[in-house]
Structure 1
Amino acid sequence: MGAHAARSARSAGGPRAAHAEARDLREAAHAAQVRELTAAGVLDDPAWRAAFEAVPRHLFVPYFFTGRGAGHERLWGEDPDPAHRARWLRGVYTDAPLPTRLRDGELVSSSSQPSLMAKMLEALDVRDGDDVLEIGTGTGYTAALLSHRLGEEHVTTIDLDEEITESARAHLALLGYRPAVVTGDGARGCPSRAPFDRILVTCALPLVPYAWLGQCRPGARILAPLSTGLIALTVRDADFAEGRFLHTPAYFVPLRGATAAPTEPGAASYGLPYELVENERFQFMLVLTAGVLHPREALDLWRGEGRPGRERFGVTVSAEGQWSWLDDPQGPYVWPLGE
Structure 2
Amino acid sequence: MSAHALDRDLAELAASARAALVREIDASGAWAADPVWREAFAAVPRHLFVPYYYVGVVGGHERRWGESPDSRTREEWIRGAYADAPLATRLRDGELLSSSSQPSLMAMMLTELRVRPGDRVLEIGAGTGYNAALLAHRLGDDDLVTTVDLEPEITEAARRHLAAAGHHPVVVTGDGARGVPERAPFDRIIVTCTLPSVPLAWLAQCRPGARILTPLATGLIALTVRDAGHAEGRFLPTPAYFVPLRGAERHETGPVEPAGVPRAARESELYRFLLELSRAGLEPQEAYALWEREGRPSRERYGVTVAGEREWAWLDSPEGPYVWPLR
TM-score, normalization: structure 2?
0.97
* Structure 1 gap ranges (5+): 1-12
* Structure 2 gap ranges (5+): none
Residue in structure 1 matched with residue 183 of structure 2 by the alignment: 193
Whether the 8 Å contact between 1:217 and 1:237 is mirrored in structure 2 is yes
Q: 1:8-157 maps to which residues of 2 (within 5 A)?
A: 14-44=2-32, 45-150=34-139, 151-157=141-147
Distance 1:102 1:184 in 2: 20
Whether the 8 Å contact between 2:256 and 2:276 is mirrored in structure 1 is no
In structure 2, which of residues 261, 282, 285 is the aligned counterpart of residue 293 of structure 1? Answer: 282
Aligned-residue offset at 1:176: 1.4
Residue in structure 1 matched with residue 250 of structure 2 by the alignment: 260
- Kindly report the root-mean-square deviation, in angstroms, between the aligned alpha carbons of the 2 structures: 1.2
Aligned-residue offset at 1:14: 2.2
Distance 1:307 1:22 in 2: 49
Aligned-residue offset at 1:15: 2.2
Aligned-residue offset at 1:328: 0.4
1:14-68, CA deviations, whole angstroms, 9 ceiling, x for partnerless residues? Answer: 2221211111111100111011111111133232111111111111011111112
Distance 1:21 1:72 in 2: 27
Q: Identity over aligned residues, as a percent?
A: 64
Distance 2:89 2:307 in 1: 36
Greater CA drift, 274-283 or 163-172: 274-283
1:273-326, CA deviations, whole angstroms, 9 ceiling, x for partnerless residues? Answer: 222212111111010011321001000000000000110000001114100000
Residue in structure 2 matched with residue 326 of structure 1 by the alignment: 315
Considering only CA atoms, is the larger Rg found in Structure 1 or Structure 2?
1
Residue in structure 1 matched with residue 205 of structure 2 by the alignment: 215
Distance 1:70 1:317 in 2: 44
TM-score, normalization: structure 1?
0.93
Whether the 8 Å contact between 2:14 and 2:79 is mirrored in structure 1 is no
Distance 2:65 2:19 in 1: 21
Distance 2:244 2:266 in 1: 21
Greater CA drift, 81-90 or 104-113: 81-90
Aligned-residue offset at 1:265: 4.3
Aligned residue type for 1:43: W
Distance 1:195 1:320 in 2: 21
Aligned residue type for 1:304: R
Residue in structure 1 matched with residue 219 of structure 2 by the alignment: 229
